[in-house]
Amino acid sequence: MCSRILFLFLTSLLLSATGSGQFTVSPNHHYLRKNGQPFFWLGDTAWELFHRLTRAEADQYLTRRKQQGFTVIQAVALAELDGLHTPNAEGQLPLRDYDPAKPNEKYFELVDYVIDKAASLDMNIALLPTWGDKLFKNNWGTGPEIFTEANAAVYGNWIATRYKDRKNIIWILGGDRIPRGRADIDIWQAMALAIMRATGNSAIISYHGQPNETGSAAWFGTAGWFAFNIFQNGHCRDNDNYNRIFNSWLSKPARPVIDAEPIYEDHPVCFNVKDLGTSSAYDVRKYAYLDLFAGAFGHTYGCHDIWQFYATGRTGINGPHLSWQDALGLPGAMQMGYLKKLMTTYPLEDRVPDQSLIAENNFPPAERIQATRGKDYLFVYTDSGKSFTLTMTKITGKEVRGYWFDPRNGTSQPLAAMANSGTRRFDPPSTGYGKDWVLILEDSNRKPAGL
């Protein structure tokens, strides 16, 4: 047993997590690239996409998300909601005899179609080979628990071989589970190593767990295949996930970090706690801007009605309110497009988190002010419109121009040019709950952003 574990560990160290295919890790180890160019991850959690939608419905969903600016769709091959017993929209189960070594070709033809449709829209799939309850239920989930080290390697090899030539795949293991111990870690490790071997060590892989202090690096931080760190926040309002993101950004070895399951729009807030209501677009925005400005390389949006593709006649999980088609137009989803425009208008890879820009740099989550900067620009997000004092000398230029960017509608209000010296107080256009703003300052010598 010890020699086998040692072999797996040494093999993992030999496999590069920087990737050599379509997706790679940037040279500074804080961002992802696609085709050698900086890549902004704007994700959506569509966990049941392969399981519940027809081809026409998948077309509708993907086309709408493309229009809204999304670049990554997170979806699961062996789905959470009774995915081994309940057929997909074409009447197919994913496995024969519930055996990971016996995948059903007909089921995966629909998966093929969705992946290829996404590619035709220049969208990417963060592909989970299985939801975590197929490995262990952890007191919830329908399972059944079917994976061992041996069949995890067989299944990992099979699915990675099937999709190794698709150029729009990022691999995510886990599926909302914390490994119970060494045996669970070894199963995921076996699957990861099989994916790496099948793809010629070019796969980009991470792990989706549950809320904790250090993200998925807690279990796989030393694995050679582990390319970027994933957090989720547990669907609670106003926690300090930005601190966890920043600590991960500081950690060694450096890896990109992302919140891949933040609070979802239209979701019960901390659904195991009573009377906290339903999450809003404002809840969604706050996590997105705070996490990104704290060092995340991208962000995942989620909607409670959409991850499960709720529709009339389906049993809803934790009280969805809307059909998935109606939920496509919720304001938080639209506002993620404004976020993407802001982040991609400026150079991605020279951006660093920097709370030293602001004097009011340690406010609690409900009134948080978070700062980030590149070489010739900076952003400050104030989540309740509180004023702040800015140190003006952290970016280039003797003179800077500025804007107040409105995360609610994507518009901006120009400010008069100002000297890039000393300190300066900034008062947002409005203040209070839901009145979040982004200050943009840029070197007057750079081309205007045009936001």
Three-state secondary structure readout of 311-370: CCCCCCCCCCCCCHHHHCCCHHHHHHHHHHHHHHHCCCCCCEECHHHECCCCCCHHHCEE
HSE value, Cβ hemisphere, 13 Å, CA-based, for 222: 6
Does the pLDDT of residue 401 top 60, yes or no? yes
Long-range contact pairs involving 246-254 (C-beta distance under 8 Å, separation at least 24): 246/294, 246/295, 246/353, 247/214, 248/214, 248/215, 248/217, 248/295, 249/30, 249/294, 249/295, 249/296, 249/353, 251/214, 251/217, 251/221, 253/29, 254/28, 254/29, 254/30
pLDDT of residue 234: 85
The answer to whether the CB of 90 falls within 8 A of the CB of 148 is no
User: What contacts 125, CB < 8 A, 6 or more positions away?
Assistant: 72, 73, 74, 75, 114, 115, 118, 168, 169, 170
Report the mean per-residue pLDDT for the chain: 94
Task: Work out the pLDDT band at 5, boundaries 50, 70, 90.
Answer: very low
Dihedral class, residue 11 (left if φ above 0, else alpha if ψ from -120 to 50, else beta)? alpha
Does the pLDDT of residue 421 top 50, yes or no? yes
Task: Work out the pLDDT band at 137, boundaries 50, 70, 90.
Answer: confident
Element (H, E) at 105: helix 105-120
Does the pLDDT of residue 60 top 80, yes or no? yes
pLDDT in tens, 86-125: 999 999 999 999 999 999 999 999 999 999 999 999 999 9
The predicted model scores a pTM of 0.94
Percentage of the chain with pLDDT > 70?
94
pLDDT in tens, 346-386: 999 999 999 999 999 999 999 999 999 999 999 999 999 99
Enter the tokens of residue 245.
Answer: 């993101």
Closest CA to 226 of 27, 377, 22, 29: 29
The answer to whether the CB of 259 falls within 8 A of the CB of 245 is yes
Task: Work out the pLDDT band at 14, boundaries 50, 70, 90.
Answer: very low
Task: Work out the pLDDT band at 44, boundaries 50, 70, 90.
Answer: very high
pLDDT of residue 7: 39
Q: Return d(Cα 47, Cα 44) in angstroms, integer.
A: 9
pLDDT in tens, 167-226: 999 999 999 999 999 999 999 999 999 999 999 999 999 999 999 999 999 999 999 999
Residue 382: phi and psi, rounded to 5, are -115, 110
pLDDT in tens, 327-341: 999 999 999 999 999
CA–chain centroid gap for 187, Å, is: 24
pLDDT of residue 2: 40
Does the pLDDT of residue 21 top 50, yes or no? yes
Element (H, E) at 39: strand 37-39
Mapping DSSP to helix (H, G, I), strand (E, B) and coil, where does residue 372 land? strand
